Structure 1
Amino acid sequence: MKHLNTIRLNVDEEVWLIDTEFLKSSWQCVWGNGCKGIHSKPDPAAGLGCCSVGAQMLDTDEAMLITAIGKSLPSEYFQNYLAARDGVLTADNTATRLEGNACIFLNHPDFVGGAGCALHLAAISEGERPMDYKPSVCWQLPLKVDRSDVQPILRPWSRSDWGDGGDSIGWCCSEKAEAPESFTGEQPVFISLAAELTALVGEIAYAELAEQLTKPETNL
């Protein structure tokens, strides 16, 4: 993994390392606006984004939540409404199952109810936060809490996080060198993803993080 520019942040009773370079960057999700997906050959026209694989469940509670929400989604927001009668998770309840070439919750570009994640669309329509409807791995992307070392690191996803197939991904949106089109947002990540960061580290830690990231570079 590349060297990270980091600061230390107290999160509950742990000290996390925070990748400041990414959080201060202009990254934004470009799904539907040039996203090339995660297949070996970039394909923006397919509209699959990172939904061409099933979303892994965090735990049993999350599996139960996503199952319940999936059963309640109205057909106007959910292209695979009928297919979902057979369940929205894999047989072992560890991930959302695939329907065709993508996650069962992905509405394709030709769907009259709107392309994109059915969970996301339903949350917006009901005045709720999409992160309260979606699997953790989905609303956290591109943020990753890496616990592979002694000290947790909050950083962007890298190719290696996609597992054995990571090297074959044709386009990785969180890598600036190969996806400059993803780094065109009007706000830095620590502001545009404030809700997600707050959910990960807590309100007090996020306030401290935001304060540190607005200091002059020489003070970090």
Structure 2
Amino acid sequence: MNAVSVEITRPFPRTWVEFVDPADEQQVLRCDLTWLTSSYRCIFGAGCRGIDASRPDDGCCVLGAHFSEPADEQRVAGHVARLTPETWQNHELGKDSWVIDDPDAEPEEDDEDALPGRKTRIHDGVCIFQNPPGFPGGTGCALHGLALEEGISPIETKPDVCWQLPIRRSYRHMEHADGTPWLEITIGEYTREGWGPGGADLDWYCTSNPEAHRGGDPLYLTSRDELVELMGPLAYQELCRLAEIHLTRGAMPHPAGGKP
């Protein structure tokens, strides 16, 4: 491999924008324009060095995918049923045992429906859905490949955490001065810190690395499907309007790549 680019130092100045959700006046979207107008691209298979240096071909898939809720797992199960030995190398091994309980994980305190510790199985050091280089059915996630084969978006076939990364959505319950409740929804960069204590130990990470900031169009356009799913179509339209204004001003570009 070529010399590794120097990862930028965090934190750094960012531009944020807030606006009321056009679909729900009790929700406010808080969006990181520095990230969403960046030139970031996922470079899996095109320069990605992987979060584990010993497995550079496996990207960020070495830990398996934790399911966000029962519906997430159930949705993925429907797509797993359509995988075949031709599209998934571990089909025979994993077709009936691709999800496991992780006793080290704990459910979110504010999510009674969460499945504590439910995640995709790890096989040979990587998520069981990961097809290795040279597999005739295609390298990488079998669920991602299924979506491409069927002409649908990967957000339909993959676990939530997989298609959302490296965009992060978080919630905060707030109150106005008069006691009226409202919900703050933050849409931003899934930085190393988002991985928890282990984030600092990742051998390589894309969002803060110039190697992954060489795209053409800005992220809010190339990740349209993901953002519409995360914030709703009306809020996405407003984000686009505000992002265009931000780009014309040339203010606060992402230091890993500057303006697209």
TM over 0.5: yes
TM-score (norm 1): 0.90
State whether residues 26 and 189 of structure 1, in contact with CA within 8 Å, keep that contact through their aligned partners in structure 2. Answer: yes
The answer on whether the counterparts of 1:67 and 1:87 sit within 8 Å (CA) in structure 2 is no
Aligned with 1:190 (options 220, 236, 245): 220
- Could you say which residue in structure 1 is the equivalent of 2:164? 140
Give matches, 1:68-107, under 5 Å.
Answer: 68-91=78-101, 94-107=118-131
Which of 200, 205, 209 aligns to 1:172? It is 205
Superposed CA RMSD in Å reads: 2.1
Listed as ranges, the gaps of 5+ residues in structure 2 are 1-9, 103-114, 175-183, 253-260
The CA deviation string for residues 5-58 of structure 1, in whole angstroms up to 9 with x for no partner, is: 10013233311210000111100000001101112xx35x73100000111101
1:141 alignment partner AA: L
Q: Offset at 1:68?
A: 2.9
Residue 110 (structure 2) aligns with: none
Q: Which amino acid aligns with 1:114?
A: G
Residue 111 of structure 1: aligned partner: 135
Partner of 1:160: 193
> Aligned residue for 1:22?
35
Shift of residue 130 of structure 1? 1.2
Q: SS state of the match for residue 76, structure 1?
A: coil
Q: Kindly state the Cα deviation for residue 170 of structure 1 after the two structures are TM-superposed.
A: 1.5
Does 2:237 correspond to 1:207? yes
The secondary structure found in structure 1 opposite 2:235 is helix
Determine whether 1:217 maps to 2:249: yes
Q: Which has the higher helix share?
A: 1
The list of structure 1 runs, each at least 4 consecutive aligned residues, that deviate by more than 4 angstroms after superposition, is: none
CA distance in 2, matches of 1:145, 1:91: 24
Provide the residue aligned with 2:150 in structure 1: 126
The alpha-carbon deviation at position 212 of structure 1 amounts to 0.9
Name structure 1 gaps, 5 residues minimum. none
TM-score of the pair, normalised by structure 2: 0.76
Identity of aligned residues (%): 32
Out of 19, 33, 56, the position equivalent to 2:46 is: 33
Larger radius of gyration: 2
Give the distance between the partners of 2:229 and 2:160, measured in 1 at CA: 10
SS in 1 for 2:188: strand
Relative to total residues, which structure has the larger strand share, 1 or 2? Answer: 2
Q: Bigger shift: 89-98 or 146-155?
A: 146-155
Task: Note if contact 1:71-1:84 (Cα within 8 Å) is conserved in structure 2.
Answer: no
Structure of higher RCO (CA pairs closer than 8 Å, 6+ residues apart): 2
